[in-house]
Structure 1
Amino acid sequence: MAATDHSRSEAAKQRRQDQLQRWLGSETDRTRSEARELSSGSGTRRAKVRFAQGAVFMAACSAGDREEVAVLLRQGADINHANIDGLTALHQACIDENAEMVQFLVESGSDVNRGDNEGWTPLHAAASCGFIQIAKYLIEHGAHVGAVNSEGELPLDVATEDAMERLLKGEIKKQGQDFLLFPLIFETLVGISITIS
């Protein structure tokens, strides 16, 4: 990897770490408790805390509790619920290298191409973390290798492992000429240059 590619990868990893750090203080941590209710006739107050269904769903996914996740989905939880940073449960499962949860979520209908607030798809997350098996699975289930984040980066651009780069470059080659036209179209529309080596 060239020096500029390395520094770009390091910058992408740092931005991702910053985003994940912000997540720690997001919806799950900041969910307010409901107003306190007075107990009937006693004059004492009881605190009652309720978490939004999306926060409960995300927590169950992060814990790897497929049974609880299935129950929540049957109760109407949104499989593509996103936290304040736009991370879905599928993004988080990719970041956590939880291949079983990734598979469960995808098979249950999670959007493999949904971007977070910075345009990172689950494939961007898997690529930046170097999780080859998860990236392969996502690609096999429709993840776009040509997805571009808000910095104009493809999953290939944020890949830090040689094996991941080979996988993504191979997939780009498989998709043929049409994919190679994408950077030219993107540059024309957005003004950001993308290079595929």
Structure 2
Amino acid sequence: MAATDRSRSEAAKQRRQDQLQRWQGSETDLTGPGPREAAAAATGARRARVRFAQGAVFMAACSAGDREEVAALLRQGADVNHANIDGLTALHQACIDENAEMVQFLVESGSDVNRGDNEGWTPLHAAASCGFIQIAKYLIEHGARVGVVNSEGELPLDVATEDAMERLLKAEIKKQGEGENALHS
């Protein structure tokens, strides 16, 4: 097996060498930099850098679990409730990723625990569907409403797959006074 891997590796290196030899002296090689690159080089200007929207940077930092970067972005004016094209906020994503520390940080920073995405799923729906009980408990303790329905008319209880999650949500429905009409499972 190792001999086969070695021969594949050698063959790949040889193909790359062949590509480089074909490229040397080709029209592309001889053409040199394009007009924009030549003008930038002549004036000493640096090439423009790609810049991402602050919301995208914020979401990426949250997904990476980088609390320091998230805090810095919030100090710079990032919207803690920024949503992507699907309506997912960083809090939704932290719930899906089972990142309890980021969930806590975002909630403490003012994230809306009841904000729905484009299909009406709240962070509690996400935590319930994934079976993340500690996150669901935390969200409920910080104002998440168990009686919110998504666009399919489903409560967080309806998307829960774990028995312990169902027990937690049923108890909370009674506690929040959402009534027996909400208990349809």
Short-chain TM bin: 0.7 to 0.9
Runs of 4+, deviation exceeding 4 Å: none
Quick one: distance in 2 between partners of 1:146 and 1:109? 21
Q: How many angstroms does 1:180 deviate by? A: 1.8
Quick one: distance in 2 between partners of 1:112 and 1:47? 39
In 2 relative to 1, CA 72–43 (structure 1 residues): closer, same or farther, beyond 3 Å? closer
1:41-120 to 2 correspondence within 5 Å? 41-42=42-43, 46-120=47-121
Match of 1:15 in 2: none
Cα deviation code 1:33-67 (max 9, x no counterpart): xxx89637449882420000000000000011101
- TM-score normalised according to structure 1 size: 0.70
Quick one: distance in 2 between partners of 1:110 and 1:130? 21
- AA partner of residue 103 (structure 1): Q
Uncovered stretches (5+) of structure 2, i.e. residues with no partner: 1-35
Match of 1:180 in 2: 179
Taking CA–CA contacts closer than 8 Å with sequence separation of 6 or more, which of the two structures ends up with the larger relative contact order? 1
- AA partner of residue 67 (structure 1): E
What percentage of aligned pairs have identical amino acids?
87
- TM-score normalised according to structure 2 size: 0.75
Quick one: distance in 1 between partners of 2:68 and 2:176? 37
Cα deviation code 1:18-43 (max 9, x no counterpart): xxxxxxxxxxxxxxxxxx89637449
Quick one: distance in 2 between partners of 1:80 and 1:39? 39
Aligned length: 149
Quick one: distance in 1 between partners of 2:165 and 2:69? 32
In 2 relative to 1, CA 109–44 (structure 1 residues): closer, same or farther, beyond 3 Å? closer
Q: How many angstroms does 1:196 deviate by? A: 2.2
Match of 2:122 in 1: 121
RMSD of aligned alpha carbons: 2.1
Quick one: distance in 1 between partners of 2:77 and 2:66? 17
